């Protein structure tokens, strides 16, 4: 059969099964969302595998986090593949089943005696945060310390190195990956603080203003069940050195 015939049959199959292209958006969040990785990172591989089982393709765009969140909330984009839950967000977004958890830990200068023992231990600190990130409700609502916004973790790590802030924070795997890929020498100057601020499940979300938001999330949930059962999800996790639970 000629190539054009196969292509025509593929188009007919896609139309008959309701196959669609879903537009996902996120800021760089390696190794979970990584524009420098040909496969897009762990989260992108997960959503593509899950949606593929439902006959859908995923197109990914990269913008700063605040713009990504606003774009999905308004329906400009279909899904955001890596959001943490907050009560406020639950009013604007439909959340999927969680597919992994992020361990949120603080980073300090080596030699700093700071230990995290709860929100009260942050009193008086200047903490570098990524604009729009919701690390935890308790962290967001506290007035004990000062938050200094930046567009990304790497900027915050550089500020910490220059002693312009006291601490920064992010997912443990993201912090290690960011330093490894951008400036391994920082491992000699910075270190993760013992303990963690939060264990944040990671979700796919779609804005409730998007007319297809229920379809996008239900499709992902169904696909996630399938890739859990057939071993695809565990294979993706192992590829990134992350323990599958």
How do residues 157-192 score in pLDDT, each as one tens digit?
A: 999 999 999 999 999 999 999 999 999 999 999 999
Task: Indicate whether 77 and 107 sit together in one domain.
Answer: no
Q: Is the pTM of this model over 0.85?
A: no
Q: Over the chain, what is the mean pLDDT?
A: 92
Task: Tell me what pLDDT residue 18 has.
Answer: 67
109 plus 192 within the same structural domain: yes
Q: Are strands 21-26 and 126-130 parallel, antiparallel or unpaired?
A: unpaired
State how many domains the chain has: 2
- Range list of H helices, the chain: 3-17, 42-52, 65-74, 87-90, 137-141, 153-161, 172-182, 213-229, 232-239
Count of other CB atoms within 10 angstroms of residue 101: 14
Question: Helix, strand, or coil here: 229?
Answer: helix
Tokens 């020498």, residue located: 185
For 11-48, how does the pLDDT look when each residue is reduced to its tens digit (9 = 90+)? Answer: 444 444 467 999 999 999 999 999 999 999 999 999 99
Residues 162, 145, single domain; the answer is yes
Exposed e or buried b per residue across 207-234, where buried means at least 16 C-beta atoms within 10 angstroms of its C-beta: beebeebebbbebbeebbeebeeeebbe
CA distances from 6 to 9, 11, 54, 241 (A): 5, 9, 20, 38
In this prediction, residues 86-94 reach a mean pLDDT of 95
62 contacts: CB under 8 Å, gap ≥ 6: 25, 26, 27, 28, 33, 35
| Span 226-235, average pLDDT | 97
Checking if the pLDDT of 9 tops 50, the result is no
Q: What is the CATH number of the domain that holds 170?
A: 3.40.190.10
- The per-residue pLDDT for range 144-153, each reduced to its tens digit, is 999 999 999 9
Q: Are residues 194 and 111 in the same domain?
A: yes
Query: Domain of 177?
Result: 103-199
Please name every residue paired with 199 in a beta bridge, in sequence order, or none if there are none.
103
Of 184, 199, 214, which one is at a domain's C-terminal end? 199
Q: Is residue 65 part of a domain?
A: yes
């Amino acid at each position: 059969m000629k190539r054009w015939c196969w292509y025509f049959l593929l188009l007919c199959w896609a139309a008959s099964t309701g196959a669609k292209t879903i537009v996902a958006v996120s800021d760089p969040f390696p190794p979970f969302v990584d524009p420098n990785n040909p496969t897009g990172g762990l989260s992108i591989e997960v959503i593509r595998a899950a949606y593929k089982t439902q006959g859908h393709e995923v197109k990914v765009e990269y913008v700063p986090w605040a713009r990504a969140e606003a774009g999905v909330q308004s329906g400009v984009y279909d899904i955001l593949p890596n959001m943490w839950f907050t009560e406020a967000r639950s009013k604007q977004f439909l959340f999927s089943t969680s597919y992994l958890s992020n361990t949120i830990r603080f980073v300090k200068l080596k030699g700093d005696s700071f230990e995290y023992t709860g929100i009260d231990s942050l009193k008086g600190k200047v903490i570098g945060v990524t604009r729009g990130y919701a690390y935890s409700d308790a962290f967001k609502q506290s007035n004990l310390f000062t938050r200094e916004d930046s567009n990304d973790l790497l900027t915050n790590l550089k500020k910490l190195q220059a002693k312009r802030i006291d601490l920064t924070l992010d997912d443990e795997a993201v912090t290690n990956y960011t330093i490894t890929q951008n400036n391994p020498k920082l491992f000699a100057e910075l270190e993760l603080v013992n303990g963690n601020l939060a264990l944040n499940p990671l979700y796919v979300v779609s804005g409730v203003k998007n007319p297809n938001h229920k379809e996008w999330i239900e499709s992902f949930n169904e696909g996630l069940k399938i890739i859990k059962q057939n071993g695809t999800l565990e294979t993706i996790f192992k590829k990134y050195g992350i323990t599958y639970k």
